Amino acid sequence: MARTSLSGFPEWLPAQRIVEQAVLDVIAETFELHGYASVATRAVEPLTELLRKGETSKEVYVLSRLQADPSDPAAESDADRLGLHFDLTVPFARYVLENAGHLAFPFKRYQIQPVWRGERPQDGRFREFVQADIDVVGDGTLPFHYEVEVPIVAARALGALRELGLPPVRVLVNNRKVAEGFYRSIGLDRPEEVLRIVDKLAKVGPARVAGMLADEVGASSDQAEACLALASLSGGVEVVERVRSLAAEHRVVLDDDPAAELLEDGLAELGELLRQAEDRAPGVVTADLSVARGLDYYTGSVYETVLLGHENLGSICSGGRYDSLASDGRRTFPGVGISIGVSRVLSRLFSAGLVEATRAVPTAVLVAVADEATRPASDAVADALRDRGIAADVAPSAAKFGKQIRVADRRGIPYVWFLSTQDDGAVRHEVKDIRSGEQVEADPATWEPPAQDRRPRAVPTPG
């Protein structure tokens, strides 16, 4: 019976893996340039922790032993069950709690790891995928300026990928205080549910969202219209005044009500974020009041990022501020973070033919073998090149040189090294660039390929 591949679990070809590694290197370097330290967490977490935040119960992969006996008194209880992590934020919160005594706060970390999410695979969405996260976590308090820094660092990481063929990005920002304050100010007292519904706007459209608001939170037609009007606002810092006008038009609570104060706090933060971002990353960050972020642990700024010209892919980078995700009952560790969907970015780079690898193998030189008796001499040349950091391989068989050149060509190896014994017993070394046909004498102790040929590189696809 023919085997079928599992959808949603990408397995890149060798040339694509070279691109993936180049992307990861650029992202990690950018994060480190901004002071973020690398950490890694385990792949599994207690199921109770994974289900604690947001609507994730349908997405978590549960782990169990194949031979587990539910009737065994020693069998795992529900509290002991494990699941694969669906993001890197929940395990990071646990990591902070367990290691707080060894960390200096504010703690800036980055983490690049696979995650697993049991959702329906589609363009840019996988069941196993790589994320690249940054977070800043404080002890008790966390200054607002980190809410400005995090999206800018992510934008710079993605901007650095333009050299590899990635299109420009736009970071869309909102503030949960704005949304919650606005919803409460117009008489909707279940803001978390309203946010969850509005978060579906891009998927189901305004008419369906209006219907869901009426059915699920009891919104009147005027309240639903106000929610949709808020979600339609986008632009620069001028958006702040437009929100104030919209709130004044629909407000049903007094100006000194806590809802109004929450709205004003959120607008002040949103305006400051937009002003600072425009100074530090002109034209990259813009307000979009439709950005809701469905997970319920966000409490301040929230972010989503789109590829310009590829908006149909959805957000490739998202996150926000959370004030109580990590707490042990005595200390609370507020934070702000953002996550780049590396696999989603790669899927578009590959499907749109935007990037390619200069070759599919690390090998720069294939050392030819004249006959099997002289293979040790070819091995010695390869080792001499490797000792100086030049990736080399030895021909698999002592075929005619033309056939060995074809082997190198099929693998994308740019150079072939030849050894020949002269009449006086001396060994002559020559290296051939099989792309140009140029062949020159060379010394394995000193020969260097051009810098661009030392390692395979990811480059924008020509044209």
Q: State the binding site for L-histidine.
A: 87-89, 117, 131, 135, 293, 297-298
* Residue 443 DSSP one-character state: -
Q: Which residues pair with 133 in a beta bridge?
A: 111, 339
Nearest partner of 447 among 396, 390, 401, 391, judged by Cα: 390
Q: How far apart are CA 253 and CA 187, in angstroms?
A: 7
H/E run at residue 159? helix 145-160
Q: How far apart are CA 292 and CA 47, in angstroms?
A: 26
Q: How far apart are CA 372 and CA 81, in angstroms?
A: 58
The number of angstroms, rounded, from the C-alpha of 112 to the middle of its chain's C-alpha atoms is 8
> In the structure encoding, which two tokens stand for residue 419, read together?
């050894």
What contacts 268, CB < 8 A, 6 or more positions away? none
* Block residue for tokens 């290197």: 25
What contacts 227, CB < 8 A, 6 or more positions away? 183, 186, 188, 194, 198, 209, 210, 213, 219
> Could you give the 3-state DSSP secondary structure of residue 82?
strand
Nearest partner of 246 among 176, 171, 173, 179, judged by Cα: 179
Q: How far apart are CA 136 and CA 194, in angstroms?
A: 28
Backbone angles phi, psi at 433, to 5 degrees: -85, 105
Q: Which residues pair with 37 in a beta bridge?
A: 109
Nearest partner of 429 among 413, 418, 414, judged by Cα: 418
CB 170 within 8 A of CB 288: no
> Could you give the 3-state DSSP secondary structure of residue 333?
strand
Q: How far apart are CA 307 and CA 15, in angstroms?
A: 23
Annotated binding site: 87-89, 117, 131, 135, 293, 297-298
